[in-house]
Amino acid sequence: MSERHLETLARRWRNGRDQGIASICSAHPWVIEAALRASPSPMPVLIEATCNQVNQDGGYTGMTPRSFRSFVVEIADRISFDTQRLIFGGDHLGPNPWKHLPADEAMRGAEQMVEAYLEAGFTKIHIDASMGCRGEPATLGDAIVAERATRLVAAAERTAERKSTRPVYVIGTEVPTPGGATHAIAELAVTSPEAAIATLAAHRSAFSSAGIADAFARVIAIVVQPGVEFTQDRVVAYDPTKATRLRNVLDTEPSIVFEAHSTDYQTPSALSALVRDGFPILKVGPGLTFAMREALYGLDCIMAERDPKHRENSLRAAMEQAMLADPAHWRGYSTGPAEAKRLERHYGYSDRIRYYWPSPRVQKAVSRLLAALGTAPISETLISQFLPRCYPAVRAGALEPQPMALVLQSVRLSLDPHLAATISGNNQETGGDA
């Protein structure tokens, strides 16, 4: 049922039924657990991993596609979630992890990665070969991108045939490339309809020339820029009026929809408008770990109020030490004086802090915090002060005032607008963001 859900997505969106799906792009176990618990039965849940995060070499998580899939399934089994509802996707699969190498060498790594994703049972594959490799321009023309994408899809199809699976594909890319914006955005250009049409035409032609036209029939979406993005301190909100011409592209492509990346932090009405305008696949990731960090920092403050000595061994202090010891994940995303950089690395929308949760120093600090908080109910007044988004549910008796319950609820509250926008009956404009 889950794979069929994506194959029929374009038709259902046009018919106004089950109009979309939220794509959860995170490797944090608490985010994944919260997403599984939040999704209403029997709707499928789409979990995606990116090329830099998970690949045959381990990525920055240390997980291969197979181990990532097992990791998610283990979480699902632990909370009695029906694993038949899971859909696994690979995001930005292409030469990006090896773009410092010559193109042919980088493409060989990308082919191996795509094959590993298919072998592991991933069925939604976003192919992105848009980035230049050593000695090439940063971005490439449609013909080269389509040729390289075709090479990767051909590798995927060979693996799929061997495993008797039927993957669906997403093509195209947004600006910026994987990892998020590294600079302030003055004004974000929406993809022109001409550019979207050219991308589709180049890929359709390349697939046909390579003898894999059947694979193009399983291209369910194209990634374009609808005018949404976020930097460290700014969210670019979706403006439907700027995407009107782009929306018309779908009138001539009845089996394809748009996929929207970087939809984190968009308002509920903006997410609903995106789905209405042809973006029924809404990707979200950093916004979820951002909410998790808010909750953990809130609990850190609560513990400091209970015991002022906790400030000396706080989670926030341990995180600061971890980030300063290894600045590779945030340095290129922060600018300005030292104090501005400090605030950005902890509180920036880009959520570069998400790379540090696996750090042994940070994991030890999280465990120490949860142990110190114990099992006694947390005071409602402290929840009101430091975790105000959770306070109404606690007051209503719908949420236990326990640390992990509060963390999972914080993630769920961040995800709920995406679920509401993509589930049939909830994706109409409401005229507000309530």
Q: Residue 156 is inside which H or E element, if any?
A: helix 142-163
**Residue 286 preceded by cis peptide, ω within 30:** no
* Length of the chain counted residue by residue: 434
pLDDT, tens digit (0-9, with 9 covering 90-100), for 247-298:
999 999 999 999 999 999 999 999 999 999 999 999 999 999 999 999 999 9
Give the number of other Cβ atoms within 10 Å of residue 137's Cβ: 9
Are the beta carbons of 80 and 122 closer than 8 angstroms? Answer: no
Burial group, residue 306, by CB count within 10 angstroms (0-12, 13-18, 19+): middle
Q: Residue 46 is inside which H or E element, if any?
A: strand 45-50
Mean pLDDT confidence for 233-237:
94
Give the CA radius of gyration of the chain: 22
Q: Residue 155 is inside which H or E element, if any?
A: helix 142-163
- For 2-286+417-422, CATH number? 3.20.20.70
> Which region, left, alpha or beta, applies to residue 45 given φ > 0 means left and ψ of -120 to 50 means alpha?
beta
Nearest residue to 256 (alpha-carbon basis) of 246, 267, 266, 264? 246
Whole-prediction pTM value?
A: 0.94
**213, pLDDT greater than 80:** yes
What's the mean pLDDT when you consider all of the chain? 93
Backbone phi, psi, residue 89, to 5°: -125, 150
Q: Where are the domains of the chain?
A: 2-286+417-422, 289-416
pLDDT, tens digit (0-9, with 9 covering 90-100), for 63-81:
999 999 999 999 999 999 9
pLDDT score for 361: 96
Domain 289-416 in CATH 3.50.50.60: no
**58, pLDDT greater than 90:** yes
Q: How confident is the model at residue 429 (pLDDT cuts 50, 70, 90)?
A: very low
pLDDT, tens digit (0-9, with 9 covering 90-100), for 89-140:
999 999 999 999 999 999 999 999 999 999 999 999 999 999 999 999 998 9
pLDDT, tens digit (0-9, with 9 covering 90-100), for 321-375:
999 999 999 998 888 899 999 999 999 999 999 999 999 999 999 999 999 999 9
